[in-house]
A and B are shown apart, each in its own frame.
Chain A
Amino acid sequence: MDWKGQKLAEELMKILLIAFGGVAFIAGYVTSSFGTMMMIYAGVVLFTAMFTAPNWSFFNLHPLKWLDPIEAEKYPKPELTTESWKKRNSKHC
């Protein structure tokens, strides 16, 4: 996910939970059934989780530009010889 996608996911999560949570409350109040409200709310949470938690492709519309591999090859990591290993792992250091 890219930065804009992360922000979108967070906002979407909040809006979905609040709006459909309100719908769940109204449904329960109108039908005078506390059980109805809790079941609808559980459904709302699951639906929001399916929508905002996984890494869907529409969250990646502004992909980050990573460096090309050729830039990293210009500065290779130094290789350790056996001499320098012994020095590194000896007690006197």
Chain B
Amino acid sequence: MHTFGYRANALLTFAITALAFICAIASFSDKFSNQNPSAEIQILNINRFKKQSHGNDEVSLTLDISADLQSLFTWNTKQVFVFVAAEYETPKNSLNQVSLWDAIIPAKEDAKFRIQVSNKYRFIDQGQNLRGKEFNLTLHWHVMPKTGKMFADKIVMPGYSLPDAYR
């Protein structure tokens, strides 16, 4: 503490270290928030279901997605990334996950929504296993914080199935 510059340097370094500590506590405080998200997905229509020229099955769906993710937002949330994936089993792979749609929710007001949309990304199988296939639709979310740890979770909705023949 000999000169002004020495004290100013010590003060700034300590202030930044304390700021890192404060951000860690802010991230930890997310554990105490009460979260109960809910979601529901309906398949409105199967638009196309065919075999591609190089042999793989492809499906095009229209989905009705409604969700209430407002309770996921805390004071330390920057945005929530949400996506819908179809999960099913084939002889070749014990678990296939195909992402059909995703979105970024920037604020709490936008977190309660209902949309009808066709799948954003193509639903293509590795093979020709989709006829009559039963699959789950899972809604995954990643809560991205302003500082600290990101946490992710999902809701699994079983019981969807594809028709037995190509259309």
A interface list, Cβ under 8 A from B:
1, 6-7, 9-10, 13-14, 17-18, 21, 24-25, 28-29, 32-34, 37, 41, 45, 48-49, 52-55
Decide: A21 near B76, CB < 8 A? Known: A52-B11, A53-B8: no
Distance A49 CA – B5 CA, assembled complex (angstroms): 11
Question: Which chain B residue has the least Cβ–Cβ distance from A49?
Answer: B11
**Chain B interface size, under 10 / 10 to 19 / 20 to 34 / 35 or more:** 20 to 34
Chain A interface, DSSP helix/strand/loop, else mixed: helix
- In the complex, what residues of B have CB within 8 A of residue A17's CB? 11, 14-15, 18
Collect the chain B residues with CB atoms within 8 Å of residue A41's CB.
19, 22
A13–B146 touching, CB < 8 Å: no
Report the number of A-B residue pairs with Cβ-Cβ less than 8 Å: 57
Inter-subunit contact A28/B75 (CB<8 Å) = yes
Nearest-neighbor residue (CB-CB) of B21 within chain A? A21
Asked if B25 is at the interface (CB within 8 A of a chain A CB), the reply is yes
Asked whether, in the complex, the Cβ of A34 is within 8 Å of the Cβ of B26, the reply is: yes
Interface string of B28-52 (1 = CB under 8 A from A): 0100000000000000000000000
CB-nearest residue of chain B to A16: B11
| Minimum CB–CB distance for B32 against chain A, Å | 10
Given the complex, which residues of A lie within 8 Å of B146, measured CB to CB? 34
A29 touches B18 (CB 8 A): no
Assembled-state Cα–Cα distance A6/B2 (Å)? 7
Docked-complex contact A53 and B7, CB < 8 angstroms: yes
In the assembled complex, the CB of B19 is this many whole angstroms from the nearest CB of chain A, namely 7
Cβ–Cβ < 8 Å partners of A28 in chain B: 26, 75
A26 and B146 CA atoms in complex are apart in Å by: 17
Identify the interface centre among B2, B10, B74: most chain A CB within 10 Å of its CB: B10
In the assembled complex, how far is the CB of residue B71 from the closest CB belonging to chain A, in whole angstroms?
13
CB distance from A71 to the nearest CB of B (A): 24
